[in-house]
Structure 1
Amino acid sequence: MKSVPHNSPARTDGIVVWVPDKHLFPPFKLLSVVTYPAGSGDGEMHSHDFFQSVFVLSGQMIFTAPPGDRLVVEAGEMAIIPNGIPHEWATAKRCKALQCATEPMLPGDNGDMAVLFGSLRDRWRKIRMDAAVAGAACDTILAEAGKNTPGSDIIVHARLLEIFALAYRAFRRSAGVQTGSIGTTDYEIYNHAVAFIRKNYRNAISLRDVAATTRLGVSRFSELFKKQCGRSPMKYLADYRLERAAALLAYSEMSVSSVADHLGFDSVHYFSKAFKKHYGHAPSVIREKQNTSSEKKPGG
């Protein structure tokens, strides 16, 4: 069953589909609220080019996939079906679900959500949510999605992120991962290392220092890290320092030498050389642009 974005619900074979006419920010592609009568189903295998998440608000939804796998999703549970996975659905009783289509997510861009919407080793995944908390977030989405008021798109986006953050926490709990622990998947280890780098990037940290926080050997850690983001840990650190430098030069009053010192570079000369290699121009270019922009402001 296909649906077209519209503010009013569409009805097909008793199925009521509401696709809010809202602008969705990446990685979200489509949001819908679907009410299914008992005994409905598509009756044929199909797949999507996106990740499909189905949060059952009431009732029950059943998914099947070859060679006979079956996933029963009750109220308060979320099903996540990766792109390219053949499946069909059915409802034994009346069901209402919040559905969202998302792009596949990369760790470097989407953080923890990449665990759920990156590269799943499972055919699909079912997560038991905190029904009250997730339900409250859904209520806000439904209320804001029906409005044409300033900021409603942003609130819908924020609440979708909240629901998926809750799903990630629930997934970790179900996997037996303790709060504050590193985790066991490659991505969780990578994410732990990234958090350490971002917290300590101004200090003189080495590859061995970062690897030690993950309890892996330097060689294994380096291989895992590069597989996740395409860069070595030290290249990631260097790039992150330079990204922070560009932001400070553009949005602060700090001088080039102050930025270099603040970020832990040994000298202004080394900082300028690294910056030019990364961005193709000297750091002073950003500062000059900022000064020129300030001079053009009224009263400047």
Structure 2
Amino acid sequence: MCQLGLNASNFNPEILFLIDHTMKGKVFKKYHHHDFIEISIVLSGEVFYNIENKVYKITKGDILIFNPGVNHNEMLEENMTVRELHIGLSNFAIEGFIKNTFPLPINSSILILDKYKDAFFRCCDEILLEQQDNFPGYDMVLKSLVMKLLVILLRETTFEDARKKGIKFSCEPSEKQNVVKAIISYMDEHYMNDISLSTISENMYMSPVYISKIFKEETGDSPINYLIKVRLNKAKALLDNGELTVKAVAKSVGYDDAYYFSKLFKKYFGYPPSKVKS
């Protein structure tokens, strides 16, 4: 069965740091980014975060996930106090996703939990207590708790969205066919839109590399080549109908540049689109 790219044998992130940190009064941290994943959990209070030159007010219960390269810094005003739990992670790998990148369901670093919020913050309390007690073997317990925290996050965000869409991430050979069928269905329905490997990746919650790999395995072609064939066959049908100009046909199948469309058409069919019209 497909396990959404996550199981005990292949998911083993390294915890770089686990910091319980409180700030008070006027603070302006340095604008920076990391080459690892940082998760910042607001346990109490409030703080301003500048994320890629956009400022957000973050309050108790909010979670921030900064993938590598995402610029950010914290800012507090005179009367503000905040307590945060910061977790640094490397070797974060889920099959079908980009390594060391948390698969965020939307284009934002800010998460607000709903279904699993209570479970998530109970786990945070366990982490803080384990750090405080510092009993023998605490590092192993902390790792297991952080793993639990990550699974809760993934259940609420990426995996829940994917489940609703019927998307699978890491699949047995028989199930790869279903994934490729979903990709083909997406391209067949949206061929007239601005589609790239990146947009397919975002829609399917899979890395571009993984999509290309399984698509090639199942069809013998790349996703983009398949998309081009779909567009050109749709274009030929429209041209055969004889009601639209070449430029209008090009635009209707996703090409704003009629000259580029004509070159592709001639390469694929062996004659220019103008010959169909004539």
TM-score normalised by the chain length of structure 2: 0.54
Equivalent pairs: percent with the same residue?
A: 17
Deviation of 1:85 (Å) = 2.6
Which one-letter code corresponds to 2:76 in the other structure? T
Name which structure has the greater RCO, CA cutoff 8 Å, separation 6+.
2
Structure 2: any 5+ residue segments left out of the alignment? Answer: 1-11, 189-196, 219-278
Deviations 1:236-294 (A, max 9, x none): 99xxxxxxxxxxxxxxxxxxxxxxxxxxxxxxxxxxxxxxxxxxxxxxxxxxxxxxxxx
| Cα distance in 1 for residues equivalent to 2:178 and 2:158 | 26
Which one-letter code corresponds to 1:94 in the other structure? T
CA 1:77–1:217 in structure 2 vs 1: closer, same or farther (change >3 Å)?
same
Q: Which of 157, 160, 185 is matched with 1:171 structurally? A: 157
TM-score normalised by the chain length of structure 1: 0.50
Deviation of 1:182 (Å) = 3.5
Deviation of 1:148 (Å) = 4.2
Identify the residue that residue 257 of structure 1 maps to in structure 2. none
Residue 76 of structure 2 corresponds to residue 91 of structure 1:
yes
Q: SS where residue 33 of structure 2 aligns?
A: coil
| Cα distance in 2 for residues equivalent to 1:29 and 1:182 | 34
| Cα distance in 2 for residues equivalent to 1:73 and 1:34 | 15
Identify the residue that residue 211 of structure 1 maps to in structure 2. 180
Contact 1:113 1:164 in 2 (8 A): no
Identify the residue that residue 48 of structure 1 maps to in structure 2. 34
Identify the residue that residue 154 of structure 1 maps to in structure 2. 140
Q: Which of 179, 194, 202 is matched with 2:170 structurally? A: 194
Q: SS where residue 117 of structure 1 aligns?
A: coil
Deviation of 1:193 (Å) = 4.8
| Cα distance in 2 for residues equivalent to 1:226 and 1:138 | 29
Contact 1:33 1:98 in 2 (8 A): yes
CA 1:39–1:151 in structure 2 vs 1: closer, same or farther (change >3 Å)?
same
Contact 1:128 1:170 in 2 (8 A): no
Deviation of 1:107 (Å) = 2.7
CA 1:236–1:216 in structure 2 vs 1: closer, same or farther (change >3 Å)?
closer
CA RMSD in angstroms comes to 4.1
| Cα distance in 2 for residues equivalent to 1:226 and 1:62 | 31
Matches within 5 A, 1:1-300: 26-42=13-29, 44-66=30-52, 68-92=53-77, 93-103=80-90, 105-108=92-95, 117=102, 122=107, 124-129=108-113, 130-172=116-158, 177=161, 180-182=163-165, 189=167, 192-195=168-171, 197=172, 205=174, 208=177, 211-212=180-181, 214=182, 216=184, 227-229=208-210, 232-233=213-214
Structure 1: any 5+ residue segments left out of the alignment? Answer: 1-24, 184-188, 238-300
| Cα distance in 2 for residues equivalent to 1:206 and 1:132 | 34
Which one-letter code corresponds to 1:142 in the other structure? L
| Cα distance in 2 for residues equivalent to 1:120 and 1:193 | 14
Deviation of 1:28 (Å) = 2.2
Which one-letter code corresponds to 1:211 in the other structure? V
Contact 1:63 1:72 in 2 (8 A): yes
